[in-house]
Amino acid sequence: MKKSFVFILIGILCVFASAKVLFEDSFAEETDDWELGMTLEVYDDCLINEALGLSLDAKLVGEEFENCAISGTFEINEWGKNGALRILFRYNSLFESYWLSFFPSGVGVHRFTGSWESGVYLGGEDNPAFGSLGRHTFRIEVKDFTFKVFVDGKEELCIIDPEEAFLVGGLVLRFDDVAFSFDEIKVESL
């Protein structure tokens, strides 16, 4: 009796300890969960763009998150002259959100509060390895106004927004002048 109680207790604790998946997509097929830009396509179990020179959004429809961890896997196939692969979190509009951007030269986080000019660079890491052609993983842990960024399994950034601009918002993947495939994305509770 005592033993089974312990097992039940462990089980309950495991349930409470594990993160809850709030959203997940492995791009097995195109669903209506996303509003996709013109040349974005879902096939071969990926979200794909092969065209350079465009800015394209994949906007997750009808979902908003507060504290959460956003993770995913993508492959960069080619950078254009102004290339950037971005994860816009706590998205309220294009220029009312936080942007985690991968560039050929590294990664960085910006905050926008109403216009392009309002953009503030909150921090980043110059390292061409992060933007190298090939496969990468990322994870952003968003807790209140502290953002931890993991690239390829390693924590690279810990950023605090002193302005505490946005506590909640949606999720957009934005692709500027980059050919890529995006394998999976997951949002979990923290």
Partner 1 sequence: MTKEFRLSFTVDLMVGHHAWFDIPYLLHEPAAVVKILKELTGINTLYVIYGGQVSPLEAVEIFGKWFEAGKDYNVEIIPVLSLINNYFAREKPDLIYPNSGSVPKVDLRLDEVKNEYGFIVEEIDSRYAPNYFGVFEFNEFSAATIMGDYPRIKTTEALEWIEYLGSKTRAKRAVSFMQPWALTLRWVKEFDLASLDTYGFLRDETWDELESYTKKAAAVFKETDGDLIILDDYGGELPALRQRKAAQILKECGVTGFNMDFIIIAHVLWYKQGEDFWTDLLSDGSYDGVFKDSFNEVCQIFRENQGVEGEVQ
Compute the least distance from the CB of residue 186 to partner 1, in Å. 22
- Give the binding range for partner 1 (CB under 8 A) out of 49-57, 66-74, 130-138, 181-189: 49-57
Interface residue with partner 1 among 50, 78, 144, 163 (CB under 8 A) is: 50
- The reply on whether position 71 binds partner 1 by CB under 8 A is no
> According to the binding rule CB under 8 A, does residue 51 interact with partner 1?
yes
DSSP 37: -
Burial class (CB in 10 A: 0-12, 13-18, 19+), 68: buried
Distance CA 113, CA 178 (A): 25
* 181 touching partner 1, by CB under 8 A: no
36 contributes a contact to partner 1 by CB under 8 A:
yes
Among 1, 2, 14, 29, binds partner 1 (CB under 8 A): 29
> Is 38 near partner 1 (CB under 8 A)?
yes
> How many residues belong to the site for partner 1 (CB under 8 A)?
14
Give me 107's structure tokens.
Answer: 């990664």
* CA atoms of 15 and 177, how far apart (whole Å): 42
Q: Per rule CB under 8 A, is residue 82 in the interface with partner 1?
A: no
Are 35 and 61 a contacting pair, CB within 8 Å?
yes
State the sign of the Cα–Cα–Cα–Cα dihedral 34, 104, 155, 26. Answer: positive
Residues 42, 68, 100, 157: which binds partner 1 (CB under 8 A)? 42
Integer Cα distance of 35 and 22 in angstroms: 18
Residues of this chain that bind partner 1 (CB under 8 A):
29-30, 35-36, 38-39, 41-43, 48-51, 54
